[in-house]
Structure 1
């Protein structure tokens, strides 16, 4: 494998600033993201107050459903003692969702390994699964190549209720049919059969979006000792009971602080990443698997559309006795994460880091500092087939991102198009128009009122000539098809939907081509957390 690094393409102004000039954003974060900050974080933070034994019991209980490797057992023991964590999380997408889920896990593992050596203390990789999210439309699809076009393939089963991912079940027979549709789009390789059969087994063993996601991730990262936990796991909620109570007691202050911090961000032209409301309670109430966002109104916590209303005392009792009925939102999830885990660094993507920029005063409200927020590794994988095309056409990966390949495709077609043909067809149209105009004049001179018929006849000839023109174009494109496809393949593989590969494709395509050892091979690359986009030539 070969690694090349480039300036991040397709980034927002905020993320570009965070990557290239973090110091200018220091009023929004407690630490820059560099080694000095990581050293400072581990030296000045008191990690002794976490409920380590209870946390390890919760994670062990959860991971027992999927299988715990020896390395994971070692990490759990370290976490129980003095270990700190590098943590990142993601929604439970089908077949892991987009590739950046994999890249985030790789980032967590790579940074944890690096800091374990540097800090001389156990640094443990943890993956936090956002099973409490309820927007199933964000995670119920993948993109496949079909008929040489990119298609969004949506899992067809719909739930009548908008349940959280951890309680949204799938019909196993329907999921297998969906899997078959995906594999029909893939070329047959030496790995196809085993890969398909592995997914079939996991589909059969699990029944919710979150458990299916966790099972795949555990399969891919089993030997790395990646610890995983579902945010919606009931024993975790019980561990969080006291923390929910703190959030309820300070809800008004929290809402105000985040609202005003986001306004500061907006005044710098970085937008409003979470669109905070000062009256937000920043908690959901969960009923029968559905989440209802609460707001504060007249000393009540309400969800008006659902007719939900709790006094502060009532909500505190829920947090104490049935904490599984509460769920964090974008504001309280990072705070809860810090309360539960001894976090050295949080691995975040562009959107996550933007909303974390609104949370510095919120952390301070709870007498905490934000961890070091390290941008996740952003990666494009270049398969051998794509490398062959790049070499043949003499392009680089940035040529695809910049639009050079698309422009070259148009130029290639133009160079092979005989412009005399459409010009000649147009000249026939012009000549016909002149002759039909003369014909109409002669008819009118002889008082023969046939204008509608003349126009209809002329239009008929125009349509036939246009048909020939289109047929010429189609025949030309067909003649050039194999060459055109090479241009299209580069853009579809390296810039699908006019964006980064990792935001569109899921791992199944590249695993099918490169085999089951791909993840282990990617983990051997000596990545640098430098804000660059990593291009890996497989």
Structure 2
């Protein structure tokens, strides 16, 4: 059972939401939405939106993808109640992203409670950097689903998770559309409906094309355009060169006329970089706020000049909800040792050593502290005398002091190691807790996928997270 959901607020300020003007959504943008109540509400008339987004990943990627969507649903619901106008949450599936190494895998907690990596396949280092919507799942997805099945513990919920993912991640699907479909099936009907937007879809690109062409004339601090084109080596940044443009990696040349033709005939070949993307989003949707994580909140303000020069009103930036799922078995370990989840963010082994050190016999611990203090005191006196007699020997004294302290620390280190060996059960408990709370030494939400927990606790887990997210939205 789940013991509790712990909110871990992102310590970054939220922007002030603008008044906003409700408007109808562009027909091409609507055509790129997956079917569901969210899309229906967007098509029903003038609306406002709350947006968030993420590149797609295998089996929906890390937990924070789901947290972003739930945050948008909750905040949209709150603002709609306050303002009395339709406010629709929109999830921007960034399927034109090309970071395959980040999207090709998912992490779950295995049967033994340790993290297990499920990988679709690797991309050769020198392969074209294709956008994710060009990456067909193919026959590899069958092996990935089987690996997921083998990793997860058996439960009543597990077959439902397998059925959900297998229905979305099919051989004929690409990674982007599969991720969008999985998110839509999981959360599309939640609240009043989440609108899942396939930003890589041809219709979406047609809607974005005028803004992408306008942005060609912009040059960022790195000397490149905020627009990318899909060329011989995959997605590639453009750079103005004379009267035309050249790609950064492949060196392909394009005239403005050629890029305008691409925008008209194969608009999916053009895409915005991370600074232009929020501008395109605000141009397509009447967005009050974009909900992002710490990284996004850090760089989104850099988009301000593009908003100004392209004449698009910016949305506010609001930190999404962040949290930790604490299973009952893990909560018992925390309670037993008086620990908090944050303490597992230390380097592996540091917490175990600290607890073992606390178990040193008091007299022995006091003697070690006294020895260190005595070494410091005596060498301080020696150093003072040496400076008067022969300052050139000061380094020799310092080296001797450090060696004496190192010897004391080595004694303590070996005593702690001995205690850790005799406290094998405690070390094992802490190891399992770390695997669940800070797998790979990172926050849980940045590693583990939602499937890892749905297979253990069913969809009721989402209801529990929802309650915490609703409290966050009420205070945002």
Kindly state the Cα deviation for residue 184 of structure 1 after the two structures are TM-superposed. 2.3
Corresponding residue to 1:214 among 165, 168, 180: 180
Corresponding residue to 1:55 among 22, 29, 32: 29
Kindly state the Cα deviation for residue 298 of structure 1 after the two structures are TM-superposed. 1.9
**Is the CA contact 1:347–1:376 (under 8 Å) kept in the aligned structure 2?**
yes
In structure 2, do the counterparts of structure 1 residues 3 and 96 end up closer, same or farther at CA, with 3 Å as the change threshold?
closer
CA distance in structure 1 between the aligned counterparts of 2:175 and 2:39, rounded to whole angstroms: 25
Does the alignment pair 1:127 with 2:91? yes
Match runs of 1:168-317 below 5 Å: 168-172=135-139, 174-204=140-170, 206-224=172-190, 225-248=193-216, 251=217, 254-255=218-219, 258-259=220-221, 277=222, 279-287=223-231, 290-303=234-247, 305-317=249-261
Q: Deviations over 1:414-464 (max 9, x none)?
A: 9599xxxxxxxxxxxxxxxxxxxxxxxxxxxxxxxxxxxxxxxxxxxxxxx
Which segments of 5 or more consecutive residues in structure 1 lack a partner in the other structure? 9-15, 20-31, 260-276, 418-469, 533-538
Kindly state the Cα deviation for residue 213 of structure 1 after the two structures are TM-superposed. 0.7
CA distance in structure 1 between the aligned counterparts of 2:172 and 2:462, rounded to whole angstroms: 23
Partner of 1:496: 439
**Is the CA contact 1:167–1:289 (under 8 Å) kept in the aligned structure 2?**
no
Match runs of 1:344-423 below 5 Å: 344-401=288-345, 406-408=350-352, 411-412=355-356, 415=359
Q: Deviations over 1:258-284 (max 9, x none)?
A: 52xxxxxxxxxxxxxxxxx1x312111
CA distance in structure 1 between the aligned counterparts of 2:442 and 2:66, rounded to whole angstroms: 17
**Is the CA contact 2:141–2:170 (under 8 Å) kept in the aligned structure 1?**
no
Q: Deviations over 1:325-344 (max 9, x none)?
A: 21111122111111111111
**Is the CA contact 1:406–1:487 (under 8 Å) kept in the aligned structure 2?**
no
Q: Deviations over 1:147-202 (max 9, x none)?
A: 66545443235475431101101223x22222222332322222123322332333
Does the alignment pair 1:513 with 2:456? yes
CA distance in structure 1 between the aligned counterparts of 2:264 and 2:186, rounded to whole angstroms: 37
CA distance in structure 2 between the aligned counterparts of 1:90 and 1:317, rounded to whole angstroms: 29
CA distance in structure 2 between the aligned counterparts of 1:150 and 1:405, rounded to whole angstroms: 17
Partner of 1:154: 119
Q: Secondary structure at the match of 1:133?
A: coil
Q: Deviations over 1:331-367 (max 9, x none)?
A: 2211111111111111111111222111112101122
In structure 2, do the counterparts of structure 1 residues 522 and 289 end up closer, same or farther at CA, with 3 Å as the change threshold?
farther
Q: Secondary structure at the match of 2:302?
A: coil
Q: Secondary structure at the match of 2:314?
A: coil
Q: Deviations over 1:56-102 (max 9, x none)?
A: 2342xxx1xxxx33x33542334xx2111000110111111111101
CA distance in structure 2 between the aligned counterparts of 1:105 and 1:7, rounded to whole angstroms: 16
CA distance in structure 2 between the aligned counterparts of 1:122 and 1:503, rounded to whole angstroms: 32
In structure 2, do the counterparts of structure 1 residues 178 and 372 end up closer, same or farther at CA, with 3 Å as the change threshold?
same
In structure 2, do the counterparts of structure 1 residues 317 and 207 end up closer, same or farther at CA, with 3 Å as the change threshold?
closer
Does the alignment pair 1:167 with 2:134? yes
In terms of mean alpha carbon deviation, does 86-95 or 497-506 score higher? 497-506
Q: Deviations over 1:127-152 (max 9, x none)?
A: 00010011101111123446665454
Q: Secondary structure at the match of 1:281?
A: coil
Q: Deviations over 1:490-524 (max 9, x none)?
A: 22211222221101111111111111232233223
CA distance in structure 2 between the aligned counterparts of 1:517 and 1:7, rounded to whole angstroms: 23
Kindly state the Cα deviation for residue 103 of structure 1 after the two structures are TM-superposed. 0.5
Match runs of 1:48-87 below 5 Å: 48=23, 52-59=26-33, 63=34, 68-69=35-36, 71-78=37-44, 81-87=45-51
Partner of 1:437: none
Structure showing greater radius of gyration is 1
CA distance in structure 2 between the aligned counterparts of 1:475 and 1:395, rounded to whole angstroms: 19
CA distance in structure 1 between the aligned counterparts of 2:91 and 2:39, rounded to whole angstroms: 15
**Is the CA contact 1:281–1:301 (under 8 Å) kept in the aligned structure 2?**
no
CA distance in structure 1 between the aligned counterparts of 2:316 and 2:424, rounded to whole angstroms: 50
CA RMSD of aligned residues (A): 3.1
Q: How many residues align?
A: 415
CA distance in structure 1 between the aligned counterparts of 2:236 and 2:437, rounded to whole angstroms: 39
Kindly state the Cα deviation for residue 383 of structure 1 after the two structures are TM-superposed. 1.4
Partner of 2:81: 117
CA distance in structure 1 between the aligned counterparts of 2:194 and 2:142, rounded to whole angstroms: 27
Partner of 1:12: none
**Is the CA contact 2:91–2:194 (under 8 Å) kept in the aligned structure 1?**
yes
